[in-house]
Amino acid sequence: MRRSKRLVLLSKFLSDNPNRIFTLKYFGDKYDAAKSSISEDLNIIKDAFHEAGEGTLETIPGAAGGVRFRIKRPVEVIERFLAELSNILSDRSRIIPGGYLYMTDVIFSPEYSSKIGEIFAQLFVDAEPTCVLTVETKGIPLALMTARALGVPLVVARRDSRVTEGPSVNISYISGSSRRIQNMALPTRGLSEKARVLIVDDFMKGGGTARGMSELVREFGAEVVGVAVLVATAYPEEKLVKKYTSLMVLEKIDAERGEVSLKPVKIPIQKEGI
Amino acid sequence: MRRSKRLVLLSKFLSDNPNRIFTLKYFGDKYDAAKSSISEDLNIIKDAFHEAGEGTLETIPGAAGGVRFRIKRPVEVIERFLAELSNILSDRSRIIPGGYLYMTDVIFSPEYSSKIGEIFAQLFVDAEPTCVLTVETKGIPLALMTARALGVPLVVARRDSRVTEGPSVNISYISGSSRRIQNMALPTRGLSEKARVLIVDDFMKGGGTARGMSELVREFGAEVVGVAVLVATAYPEEKLVKKYTSLMVLEKIDAERGEVSLKPVKIPIQKEGI
């Protein structure tokens, strides 16, 4: 196969399989090329991805080593995207009677959910999550796209245990905002006790749901390595989880005046070379 | 920018944005290159994607024209994947008390859901769907990945109408298998009357849920262009929807003997050149 075609196929493959390690031998066999040729291809791809701000191509030494593509966008690019997203979501036509904000089309869109998932993945990849957890329903697209970008499985807690999913661990928790008792269930085969869990959700007000998910994780003897939400409300300031990351802060919805006050956060990550 | 780097970035971009049309001018500006150079790059990518069985790069003539990447895998590749998936799902450890099959880990995994979504997209792309519809919860990952591969939005019906999503259209329908009355709701702003809807779900027994979704679509004055499910049961043979496509057929679960009889279907598509 000629170099130009290998470059095309390797670029697509790496992009489709982020955060996973592949050996040079694997690619050599796949594309019927010498390891030295693959190595040169990977250098070209590494430079191109880096210069275009797509991400890094890292070489992992050792017996389990190989090469790994990680999505890593420059902070300015992420902040520009969040500013654009805040604008879209602040449109007055999105105000719903009762003072809610219609975000469903955005968080369910493949285009936005994949970009948001890639940002979550970038922010939490160093915590080395081995799975992503959310609770049905609206967090699922963001959580799935985060799991995809991290190359790990997705686990979804249900509001009730389901006969089709077998035995489950069930918890009750108090919703932070409505103060109502809610239920959450996860099949016993859903999480191992060695799991390092990244919790993802679309929205956080009181933080009760995220706290419920944390408790569920602890019931399995597993560990929460992060909590990521797209939008958190500014009030109450004290959430029921200590540490969380939100990409946008919702300060106020003024239904009378038709004003939404939604702001992107400053991304708390450093720029790094490769 | 050198050709090799453009090839890397163009390949990634096209792969990340399937089924969407981009002009040569767009790429020329993006990569600061002459249209003639971009055109040569695209020919190399077209050949590479075609030869590797990834898909086609089509040139769309006219004022709204440009180039479009469509995922199109050879039938043998799809059938091999479905055979492997059937094997995984037929494992006796997946039998759940009550005679159900545990599929959640597979349909929620980014790896499998994206492959299944790409197959659905390939099978229905010629029907020109403008959105994908599913009902919460377990169909969401497959539906999202199908929408991603088609480059169209995802719409999710809820079991109840939600205050956070504003006014909705609600229907009641009779579940095909349990004969119980169920509800389904979709925000009025969720679908336009011009929508061409591809219905996606993980599992079909009686077909009542798919029929309910079809009725919901008709309430909006929109059109159903296809129904795609991952697994359909062999019995009842008569489903409540006339036309549907399932990738696998579940014939029997024998909990006593620990036997699952799940078979991939023969894919009903023709191989085509580009």
Q: Which of the residues B2, B8, B44, B47 would you substitute to probe the A interface, choosing the one with the greatest number of A C-beta atoms within 10 Å? A: B8
The CATH number of A75-264, from 3.30.60.50, 3.40.50.2020, 3.40.640.10, 3.40.50.720, is 3.40.50.2020
Domain B3-71 adopts which CATH fold? Arc Repressor Mutant, subunit A (1.10.10)
Q: Give me the tens of pLDDT residue by residue for chain A, a chain 274 residues long.
A: 899 999 999 999 999 999 999 999 999 999 999 999 999 999 999 999 999 999 999 999 988 889 999 999 999 999 999 999 999 999 999 999 888 999 999 999 999 999 999 999 999 999 999 999 999 999 999 999 999 999 999 999 999 877 788 899 999 998 867 778 999 999 999 999 999 999 999 999 999 999 999 999 999 999 999 999 999 999 999 999 989 999 999 999 998 999 999 999 988 654 343 3
> How many Å apart are CA A32 and CA B138, to the nearest integer?
40
Contacts of B148 in chain A (CB under 8 A): 110, 114
Q: CA of B205, closest CA in chain A: separation in Å?
A: 13
Asked if B8's CB is within 8 angstroms of A189's CB, the reply is: no
Asked if B163's CB is within 8 angstroms of A105's CB, the reply is: no
Q: Which residue of A has its CA nearest to B41?
A: A4
**Helices (H), strands (E): how many in chain B?**
8, 13
- The Cα-based distances of B264 to B54, B87, B89 in angstroms read 21, 10, 11
Contacts of B152 in chain A (CB under 8 A): 110
Please, what's the b/e burial string for A208-226 (b: 16 or more CB within 10 A of its CB; e: otherwise)?
bbbbbbbebbeebebbbbb
Q: CA of A44, closest CA in chain B: separation in Å?
A: 7
> How many Å apart are CA A113 and CA A143, to the nearest integer?
9
pLDDT band at B268 (very low <50, low <70, confident <90, very high): low
* Beta bridge mates, A227: A199
SS3 per residue for chain A: CCHHHHHHHHHHHHHHCCCCEECHHHHHHHCCCCHHHHHHHHHHHHHHHHHCCCEEEEEECCCCCEEEEEECCCHHHHHHHHHHHHHHHCCHHHEECCCEECCHHHHHCHHHHHHHHHHHHHHHHHHCCCEEEEECCCCHHHHHHHHHHHCCCEEEEECCCCHHHCCEEEEEEECCCCCCEEEEEEEHHHCCCCCEEEEEEEEECCCHHHHHHHHHHHHCCCEEEEEEEEEEECCCCCCCCCCCEEEEEEEEEECCCCEEEEEECCCCCCCCCC
| Predicted pLDDT at B273 | 34
Contacts of A154 in chain B (CB under 8 A): 108-110, 141
Nearest-by-Cβ selection for B12 from A11, A101, A153:
A11
ipTM metric = 0.95
Element spanning B240, H or E: none
Q: Which of the residues A14, A108, A136, A230 would you substitute to probe the B interface, choosing the one with the greatest number of B C-beta atoms within 10 Å? A: A108
Asked if B9's CB is within 8 angstroms of A12's CB, the reply is: no
| Predicted pLDDT at A165 | 87
* Segments making up each domain of chain A, as ranges: 3-71, 75-264
Q: Which of the residues A104, A109, A113, A209 would you substitute to probe the B interface, choosing the one with the greatest number of B C-beta atoms within 10 Å? A: A104
Nearest-by-Cβ selection for A44 from B8, B45, B165:
B8
Asked if A8's CB is within 8 angstroms of B49's CB, the reply is: yes
> How many Å apart are CA A66 and CA A148, to the nearest integer?
20
Q: CA of B61, closest CA in chain A: separation in Å?
A: 24
Summarize pLDDT for B57-109 with one digit per residue, the tens: 999 998 888 999 999 999 999 999 999 999 999 999 999 988 899 999 999 99
